[in-house]
Homo-oligomer: A and B are copies of this chain.
Amino acid sequence: MAQFMDHGMKDITADQLMQAHQADLAVEREEGVRFEKAWADPSSGTVYCLSAAPSAEAVQRIHARAGHRADEVHPVPLAT
């Protein structure tokens, strides 16, 4: 398991954002992903998600299954 950060721009409201995050959590185990934290800017619709996962592809598959692909998913082996 490694740590990943993804981000995407989705023109959604705060409520839709939390629903999207719940949709991720509902299926994350099926790809061995654990979303640890999410941050969002509802004014621009930008979402950041920090996860522990076997691969960036697994993270993206969960987002895709939940209906909202990330623009980018990056491994973040370095953290302060």
What residues make up the interface of A, taking CB atoms closer than 8 Å to B?
A: 3, 5, 7, 14, 17-18, 21, 35, 37-44, 46, 48, 50, 72, 74-80
Query: Are B72 and A38 interface neighbours, CB within 8 A?
Result: no
Copy tally for this chain in the complex stands at 2
A13 and B48 CA atoms in complex are apart in Å by 23
**Contact, CB under 8 Å: A76 / B7:** no
Contacting pair B7 A41 (CB below 8 A): no
Q: Given A5-B39, A41-B74, list of 12 further CB < 8 A pairs?
A: A3-B39, A5-B46, A14-B78, A17-B78, A18-B80, A37-B80, A41-B78, A42-B78, A43-B75, A44-B74, A46-B76, A48-B48
